[in-house]
Structure 1
């Protein structure tokens, strides 16, 4: 699922206006410089890219089944959704 990971990193880097090489898996959206609106936009882009539906509650992300605490957590959750889709 390397291509999934790389594409997610690219989407989030574009949102943060950073080079993908600047992102680390343990960085939180806040560390990357993405606010809540940017995170929602990133989630929409990820959903569109992979044709998945992310169970994300933008108003209460801590109550969501979708872990957005770090870039690595987001990648893991998306990889799981992509794998379940097949």
Structure 2
């Protein structure tokens, strides 16, 4: 059985934050986890590479992005949506 999108995203975020996977909660914000803007960009790249998707994210102006980075749960939901779109 393959890992779920949620598990893979949490694993990527934990790696960027240098935390254990168990330390990453769905309601955590990237700020809570100590991920700065560079860590965020690296996380986005890792997500794109892992799932073979294009994330609509503007690193220069994250508030203008369609990709919600407000919490781990919102990132997981956004990635699940992009993966589902790709499969149609």
**TM-score with structure 1 length normalisation?**
0.96
RMSD over aligned CA atoms reads 1.2
Q: What is the aligned length?
A: 86
Alignment of 1:3-82 (within 5 A): 3-82=4-83
How far apart, CA to CA, are the structure 2 residues paired with 1:6 and 1:80? 15
Runs of at least 5 residues in structure 1 that lack an aligned partner in the other structure: none
**What 5-or-longer segments of structure 2 have no aligned partner?**
none
Cα shift readout 1:28-75 (whole Å, capped 9, x = no counterpart): 110011000000000000000000000000011011000001000000
Please report the TM-score for the alignment, with normalisation by the length of structure 2.
Answer: 0.94
Structure with a larger share of its residues in helix: 1
